[in-house]
Amino acid sequence: MRLPPARLRRVPSRWRAAAFVAGLWLAGSVWAQVQLPRGGGALSLPMPAASSGGATSVRTADFIVALVNSEPITNNEVRQRMLQIRQQFAQQGAALPPPAQLAREVLEQLINERAQILQARDTGIRVDEATLQDAERTIAAQNQMSLEDFRRRLAAEGIDHNRLRTELSNQILLQRVHEREVDARVRITEADIDAYIHEQTGGTEANLLLDLSHILVLVPENASAAQIQALEARARQAADKARAGADFAALAREYSDAPEKTEGGRFGVRPANRLPELFVQVTRDLPKGGIVGPVRSPAGFHVLRLNDKGQAGLPAATVVQTRARHILLRTGPALSEADAVARLARMRADILAGRASFEELARQSSQDGSAAAGGDLGWAAPGQFVPEFEQVMNRLGPGDLSAPTVSRFGVHLIRVDERRETQVSQREQRDQIRAMLRERKAAEALDRWGEDVRGRAFVEYRDPPQP
């Protein structure tokens, strides 16, 4: 039985990405900044500097650096954002512009955000207490913490809880005004999808992607007819074994004289125009997994396996699906998160010791729609579950059982039963293209809307920011 959309299933990305602050993560003692998906720049939570003596907030004599419709932006706000950006770039090993230039760019980012937040408020958008609490719970779940532990960690890191809530409220305001002013107006037609597919395929080899594996039996220059015949027989023997189901990578290591033999003969995914024309011609019509050869070239005899093929710019033709089960305990006044974790840990120990079956425990204890089916979630493609659940599930092999896992829905015990690679239907592929085109058009529309909001805002620059 599948879970209903309101439960474990992932919410739409445009809502999830900003309104519920999906990017927050903990790295040592540093809370990383949160990114909005499009436009308006990055919004971030207040974040202390890491130091051996504990985290401390940036403190300096503050002053106003700009006014946006009479609302001030302070130098400390610029410094705080710069600190977050430096920490993020340091983790990525990326270079930053000089401090003065970065301060100017950050100020412009803050001005754009403030103008959009004020626009949201002016149009009547509000964020209620329940939404703010849901946002906090989501961040806590993504960091595998209860809400109480999360708030204690904030305090230990020197992060002011009220400022956190203000930042969350601003992010939600921005997301809601983006949805209303931009997302709701973007439409993708079937003709748009057809045009994109035609543009990407176009009948050219530059758009054809081939994933090939290769065995080469070299033929020396001036080889005799008898030598050529023997080498062809060797290549044919490899091809026959491959067609009979032998592992191609092992055959490549045994038979091939090509440099990529150490990689199991695999070229990897390459555009067709970067492969020998002979290879493209003989594999173009092969089914996935098909073997061709031996075929002769000036270098010798080749045996080729088509691992996969596709078109550049188009979604993958196949996807790895997972079939998993879970036991969900919902937390609340009647069951604390710590008690739920302890209870599932005992269930896990009983399952591993053979004293209980996962399916029976799921029927007895799980608190969602999959309980009647022994916790069976059915076959799921990537992106179908919320991130904090899916990340744990993806690390499990078939038959593996997770530790108790916290998500925004409660605490789970997860077992992976099977994985399979399945063909993506034409309808599913078109849906993926629709989503991609919608994101692209929405990003362009959001940029235009953001420029219009900034152009109508009254911005007064005061003293330059001091980094």
Domain match, 115 and 246 both: no
* 74's tokens: 């302070």
pTM of the predicted model, to two decimals?
A: 0.52
Let me know: does 293 contact 303? Beta carbons within 8 Å.
yes
User: Is the confidence at residue 272, as pLDDT, over 60?
Assistant: yes
Residue 1 lies in a domain: no
User: Is the confidence at residue 226, as pLDDT, over 70?
Assistant: yes
DSSP 35: -
Residue 312 confidence (pLDDT): 61
Residue 108 confidence (pLDDT): 93
Domain match, 212 and 175 both: no
What DSSP line would sit under 101-141, residue for residue?
HHHHHHHHHHHHHHHHHHHHHHTT----HHHHHHHHHHHHH
Let me know: does 188 contact 437? Beta carbons within 8 Å.
yes
- Within 353-408, residue ranges assigned H as helices are 358-365, 387-395
DSSP 399: T
Domain match, 148 and 89 both: yes
Out of 311, 332, 354, a domain closes at 311
Band of pLDDT at residue 261, cut at 50, 70 and 90: confident
Q: What percent of the chain has pLDDT over 70?
A: 83
Residue with tokens 């390459």: 270
Cα–Cα distance between 181 and 449 in angstroms, integer? 8
Mean pLDDT of the chain: 80
Least confident of 36-45, 255-264, 452-461: 36-45
Residue 29 confidence (pLDDT): 25
Residue 3 lies in a domain: no
Burial 428-467 (b: 16+ CB within 10 A, else e): ebbebbbebbbbebbeebbeebbeebbeebebeeeeebeb
Residue 268 confidence (pLDDT): 76
Band of pLDDT at residue 333, cut at 50, 70 and 90: confident
Domain match, 322 and 302 both: no
User: Is the confidence at residue 427, as pLDDT, over 50?
Assistant: yes
Query: 303 is in which domain, residue-wise?
Result: 208-311
Residue 38 lies in a domain: yes
Out of 290, 311, 332, a domain closes at 311
Residue 201 lies in a domain: no
- Name the residue with higher pLDDT: 453 or 42: 453
pLDDT average, residue stretch 230-243: 93
Least confident of 61-75, 262-276, 372-386: 262-276
- Name the residue with higher pLDDT: 132 or 196: 132
Q: Burial level of 259, CB count in 10 A (0-12/13-18/19+)?
A: exposed
Residue with tokens 């605490």: 411
Let me know: does 392 contact 383? Beta carbons within 8 Å.
no
Domain match, 357 and 250 both: no
Residue with tokens 């045994």: 254
Domain match, 110 and 236 both: no
Q: How many CB atoms lie within 10 A of CB 411?
A: 25
User: Is the confidence at residue 2, as pLDDT, over 60?
Assistant: no
Domain match, 159 and 274 both: no
pLDDT average, residue stretch 71-87: 90
Report which residue type is found at 314. L
Domain match, 105 and 242 both: no
DSSP 44: -
Residue 315 confidence (pLDDT): 62
Let me know: does 99 contact 465? Beta carbons within 8 Å.
no
Residue 407 lies in a domain: yes
Q: What is the pLDDT of residues 86-126, one digit of tens each?
A: 887 776 667 788 999 999 999 999 999 999 999 999 999 99
Q: Are strands 71-74 and 405-407 parallel, antiparallel or unpaired?
A: unpaired
Contacts of 330 (CB under 8 A, 6+ apart): 340, 367, 368, 409, 410
Least confident of 71-80, 111-120, 199-208: 199-208
Least confident of 236-250, 282-296, 308-322: 308-322
Residue 54 confidence (pLDDT): 39
Residue 8 lies in a domain: no
Domain match, 330 and 394 both: yes
- Within 47-98, residue ranges assigned H as helices are 75-92
* 104's tokens: 């100017």
Angstrom CA distances, 427 to 193, 262, 365, 433, stand at 11, 39, 37, 10
* 266's tokens: 């695999």
3-state secondary structure of 154: helix
DSSP 67: E
Domain match, 235 and 351 both: no
Residue 316 confidence (pLDDT): 64
Domain match, 95 and 146 both: yes
User: Is the confidence at residue 389, as pLDDT, over 70?
Assistant: yes
Residue 262 lies in a domain: yes
Q: Which of 16-20, 130-134, 207-211, 222-226 shows the highest mean pLDDT? A: 222-226
Residue 78 confidence (pLDDT): 93
Domain match, 235 and 360 both: no
Out of 311, 332, 367, a domain closes at 311
Total domains, the chain: 3
Residue 294 lies in a domain: yes
Q: What percent of the chain has pLDDT over 90?
A: 35
User: Is the confidence at residue 276, as pLDDT, over 60?
Assistant: yes
Residue 303 parent element (H or E): strand 300-311
Residue 26 confidence (pLDDT): 29
Residue 50 confidence (pLDDT): 37
Say whether the peptide bond before residue 99 is cis (omega within 30 degrees of 0): no
DSSP 49: B
Report which residue type is found at 322. T
In DSSP terms, 326 is beta-bridged to: 414
User: Is the confidence at residue 459, as pLDDT, over 90?
Assistant: yes
Nearest to 358 by CA among 405, 370, 340, 330: 370
Let me know: does 448 contact 48? Beta carbons within 8 Å.
no
Report which residue type is found at 191. A
- Name the residue with higher pLDDT: 386 or 456: 456
